[in-house]
Amino acid sequence: MHAALGVPVRLAIIDHIGLKDASPGELGTTFGIAPNLLAHHLRVLEDTGLIRRVRSEGDQRRTYVQLRLDHPMVAALPGSGTQLAAPRVVFVCTHNSARSQLAAAAWNRTHSVVATSAGTRPADRVHRRAISTGGRHGLRLGRAKTADAAAVLRPGDLVVAVCDNAYEELTGRDGAALHWAVPDPARIDTDAAFERAYQDITRRVERLARSTATAGRTTELESSRRST
């Protein structure tokens, strides 16, 4: 793993996907790397267990690159040091019935910046297995309600799309600052699937929380914007 990260562009890729998943096309555009060279770097990172590539549950032609945060050594890698700041975090998925609800509840337990959730096509109610899974981990979702992203999102929100469909729907519109390709547990509809989604989400929430300024704190980025 350390040898793989000895090449600067590979380390830059790891930093880039530290808080968000990205498609190879997005990485190629960001770093100005030709597709064949990018494929080589991604193959090295994948072979050493640093990243995985997953196929989109929305646009099946797309794949996303993500850190293997389930690996202890990868999870321990330091972030890029960038501090994000926003008055509110909004977790968005398609139906707002499971992943986004769990993410918002886990975030609100962790961080002082308030989080809420919404869906691009919200369901009538929160999924019963999301409620029971949250309950096992001390998250109270019994009274949670779904909401439409169009009515919830406000300028300045830090938007985190926790499913591929929502990310791809938001791209080209308001957009999402971050994308987490968390598999939809409702497709399998078992307690185990919802538990895996919860574990994936909480690992990501904890990592994002460490890179997000606390409420009322002014970051260097904010200060520079105000001075200009």
Residues 42, 153, single domain; the answer is no
Residues 64, 176, single domain; the answer is no
Q: Which of 75, 97, 124 is the last residue of a domain?
A: 75
Question: Is residue 118 one of the residues assigned to a domain?
Answer: yes
Residues 178, 101, single domain; the answer is yes
SS3 for 43?
helix
Question: Is residue 181 one of the residues assigned to a domain?
Answer: yes
The beta-strand segments (E) located in 74-205 are 89-93, 115-119, 158-161, 178-179
Residues 107, 151, single domain; the answer is yes
The string of pLDDT tens digits covering residues 136-191 is 999 999 999 999 999 999 999 999 999 999 999 987 655 678 999 999 999 999 99
Question: Is residue 217 one of the residues assigned to a domain?
Answer: no
The pLDDT value recorded for residue 77 is 81
- Our separate counts of H helices and E strands in the chain read 10, 6
Residues 116, 152, single domain; the answer is yes
Number of structural domains the chain divides into: 2
Residues 184, 97, single domain; the answer is yes
Residues 98, 45, single domain; the answer is no
Residue 215 has pLDDT above 80, yes or no: no
Question: Is residue 198 one of the residues assigned to a domain?
Answer: yes
Of 95, 105, 151, 104, nearest to 126 (Cα)?
95
Q: What is the pTM of this model?
A: 0.90
Residues 203, 95, single domain; the answer is yes
The pLDDT value recorded for residue 219 is 40
Q: Which residue has the tokens 């957009």?
A: 175
Report the distance separating Cα 148 and Cα 167, nearest Å.
15
Domain that holds residue 67: 4-75
Residues 11, 95, single domain; the answer is no
Residue 224 has pLDDT above 60, yes or no: no
Question: Is residue 152 one of the residues assigned to a domain?
Answer: yes
Residues 102, 165, single domain; the answer is yes
Q: What is the CATH number of the domain that holds 27?
A: 1.10.10.10
The string of pLDDT tens digits covering residues 10-44 is 999 999 999 999 999 999 999 999 999 999 999 99
Q: What is the dihedral of CA 79, 207, 187, 133, to 10 degrees?
A: 160
Residues 93, 203, single domain; the answer is yes
SS3 for 104?
helix
Question: Is residue 219 one of the residues assigned to a domain?
Answer: no
Q: What is the CATH number of the domain that holds 96?
A: 3.40.50.2300
Residues 108, 130, single domain; the answer is yes
The string of pLDDT tens digits covering residues 52-69 is 999 999 999 999 999 999
Question: Is residue 106 one of the residues assigned to a domain?
Answer: yes
Question: Is residue 197 one of the residues assigned to a domain?
Answer: yes
Q: Which of 25, 51, 75 is the last residue of a domain?
A: 75
